[in-house]
Amino acid sequence: MVYDLIIIGAGPAGITASVYAARKRINFLVISKDIGGQTAWSGDIENFTGYQFITGANLVSKFEEHMKKYKVPLKEEGVLELKKKGALISIKTNKDVYETKTAIVASGKHSKELGVPGEKEFKNKGVTYCATCDGPIFAGKDVAVIGGGNAGLDATLQLMKIAKHVHLINITPELTGDKIMQDKVEGAENVTILNDTRVTEVIGDKMVTGIKIKEKAKEKTLTLQGIFVEIGLMPNSDFAKELDKNEKGEIKINSSNETNVTGIFAAGDVTDIPAKQIIIAAGEGSKALLNAFSFLSRKK
Amino acid sequence: MAKNVKVYSTPTCPYCIKAKQFLKDNNIEFENIDVATNPEKAQEMVDKSGQMGVPVLEIDGKIITGFDKDAIKESLGI
């Protein structure tokens, strides 16, 4: 079967596109390993219009209800390859191969890794990428947060309430996150801020026991049990080899969400649009669908 | 006979919520253990699973780490 449209990803962009697609009654499919994307991992959300306060998990439940209402067809598979095949587009997943006339790439971003020895080996054995999820397990323990941006400060604010001590390790000369968060972190008795410092190795036996750091030329080992990596995000765009990307790996799009390949559109955090917000991703998903729909109408 | 199912979780982790919802959807009774408020149980979870991520499911003594739907289905025989 050839679909009219396949949407890759089910975060705010992909889900919004899917709701619009269902209302247009086109023959479409959503392929995504998970529902909610980064929104599911967000703590408190206070800037999504209509909700003065909602948690990420609850907003994702609302998204899911919306998808269910429109009976959006979903395949829980991982996309391995997206390529143009004649006039059609071919999408290979870990389970199957699909063909479609148009595609919307809305695959979002994932946490960037440190890329140091020991990190992979001790993933989930002390190394974690989600303070909101795993933070409480480190109650009363010594931990490190890596990253001085908003994500790092947010993790530090959560952890300083439960951990014994938090080492905030920041590669730049000063913290870069919002001033209001910096002030709270700087005022905390159980937080040590280490600026101009990089991580060189994660050490442990069965679980993490420490971390090696380098402050300019000075090397040091900290004894601790938990490492929270919050050093930014990487676009999930590796499978889209034929699409033009910027230096960050984000897919280049124009104001109509078109990529360099005819029939392939992109939306949300995986693209090179300047601001990454839930509400913007949702809006971009809607825009991408409307443009894909007019593309399909023109082809008929 | 009904299987003994425990879920070690934190209230904020999305995959814990999904795992619990999956069990509810399949009418499986389970005991939820909130490791955020119970450090002893958190340590028990780490000892049993050999890792520090949530959720961890224990189905009749068998440990499943993460929301691994296929492994959960197999252990429950559904």
Residues of A in Cβ contact (< 8 Å) with B46: 137, 207
A to B CB pairs, distance under 8 Å: 59
Res B59 pLDDT > 90: yes
Q: Which pLDDT score is estimated for A153? A: 94
Higher-confidence residue of B54 and A43: namely: B54
Q: Which pLDDT score is estimated for A15? A: 98
Residue from B7, B13, B15, B49 to probe the interface with A (highest A Cβ count within 10 Å) = B13
Q: Which pLDDT score is estimated for A189? A: 96
Point out the residue among A128, A139, A206 whose CB comes nearest to the CB of B39. Answer: A139
Point out the residue among A40, A55, A134 whose CB comes nearest to the CB of B53. Answer: A134
Point out the residue among B14, B50, B52 whose CB comes nearest to the CB of A36. Answer: B14
B15: which 2 tokens?
């995959």
Q: A293 to chain B nearest CA, in Å?
A: 33
Q: B53 to chain A nearest CA, in Å?
A: 5
Q: Which pLDDT score is estimated for A91? A: 98
Cβ distance B12 to A60 less than 8 Å, yes or no, reads no
Cβ distance B14 to A139 less than 8 Å, yes or no, reads no
CA triplet A174, A179, A183: central angle to 5 degrees? 85
Point out the residue among B35, B50, B65 whose CB comes nearest to the CB of A137. Answer: B35
Q: A45 to chain B nearest CA, in Å?
A: 13
Q: What is the pLDDT along chain A (300 residues), one digit of tens a residue?
A: 999 999 999 999 999 999 999 999 999 999 999 899 988 877 778 889 999 999 888 899 899 999 999 999 999 999 999 999 999 999 999 999 999 999 999 999 999 999 999 999 999 999 999 888 888 889 899 999 999 998 899 899 999 999 999 999 999 999 998 899 999 999 999 999 999 999 999 999 999 999 999 998 899 999 999 999 999 899 999 999 999 999 999 999 999 999 999 999 999 999 999 988 999 999 999 999 999 999 999 986
The length of chain A, given as a count of residues: 300
Higher-confidence residue of A276 and B12: namely: A276
Q: Which pLDDT score is estimated for A150? A: 87
Q: Is the ipTM of this complex over 0.95?
A: no
Cβ distance B14 to A133 less than 8 Å, yes or no, reads yes
Point out the residue among B17, B50, B54 whose CB comes nearest to the CB of A134. Answer: B54
Q: Which pLDDT score is estimated for B2? A: 81
Q: Which pLDDT score is estimated for B1? A: 65
Residues of A in Cβ contact (< 8 Å) with B45: 137
- Three-state SS sequence of chain A: CEEEEEEECCCHHHHHHHHHHHHCCCCEEEECCCCCHHHHHCCEECCECCECCEEHHHHHHHHHHHHHHCCCCEECCCEEEEEEECCEEEEEECCCEEEEEEEEECCCEEECCCCCCCCCCCECCCEECCHHHHHHHHCCCEEEEECCCHHHHHHHHHHCCCCCEEEEECCCCCCCCCHHHHHHHHCCCCEEEECCEEEEEEEECCCEEEEEEEECCEEEEEECCEEEECCCEEECCCCCCCCCECCCCCECCCCCCECCCCCEEECHHHECCCCCCHHHHHHHHHHHHHHHHHHHHHHC
The structure tokens 């839930």 sit at A278
Among B residues 9-68, those touching chain A with beta carbons less than 8 Å apart: 10, 12-17, 35-37, 39, 42, 45-46, 50-54, 65
| Nearest residue in A to B16, CA atom | A133
